């Protein structure tokens, strides 16, 4: 039987807690992104703009918490903004 240290057990417990917290944050981000893209697909400019604000805020919070990297967050916000701005420019 291998020796299992107390610190190993503690780290595993901490990792599980962090994983659950990170998954919650990431699922929230994904939901906001889907909401924004759905508004863009339906060509609802005002709804897309408010959804973009919520999504970029959620993405920024996720990056601040370390769930996603800063460059990834910036790229996702940029691409969403391009989609929403393309919708308003088409009008």
Given a cut of 80, whether residue 32 has pLDDT beyond it is yes
User: How far is the C-alpha of 63 from the C-alpha of 71, rounded, in Å?
Assistant: 9
Residue located via tokens 């903004």: 81
- Which tokens in the block code for residue 39? 């508004």
Mean pLDDT of 29-47: 96
Q: What band does 1 get if pLDDT is binned at 50, 70 and 90? A: low
C-alpha dihedral, 23 to 28 to 30 to 32, nearest 10°? -170
Give me the pLDDT at residue 3, please.
Answer: 80
Name, in order, each residue with C-beta under 8 angstroms of 84's C-beta and a sequence gap of 6 or more: 36, 40, 45, 48, 49, 52
Mean pLDDT of 60-71: 97
pLDDT value, residue 62: 97
- CATH numbers and ranges of domains, the chain: 6-90 (1.20.58.110)
47/40 Cα distance (integer angstroms): 8
């Amino acid at each position: 039987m291998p020796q299992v240290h107390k610190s190993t057990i503690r780290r595993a417990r901490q990792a599980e807690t962090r994983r659950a917290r990170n998954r919650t944050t990431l699922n929230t981000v994904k939901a906001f992104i889907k909401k924004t893209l759905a508004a863009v697909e339906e060509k609802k400019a005002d709804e897309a703009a408010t959804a973009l604000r919520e999504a970029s805020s959620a993405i920024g919070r996720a990056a601040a918490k370390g769930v996603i990297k800063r460059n990834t967050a910036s790229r996702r916000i940029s691409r969403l903004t391009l989609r929403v701005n393309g919708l308003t420019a088409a009008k």
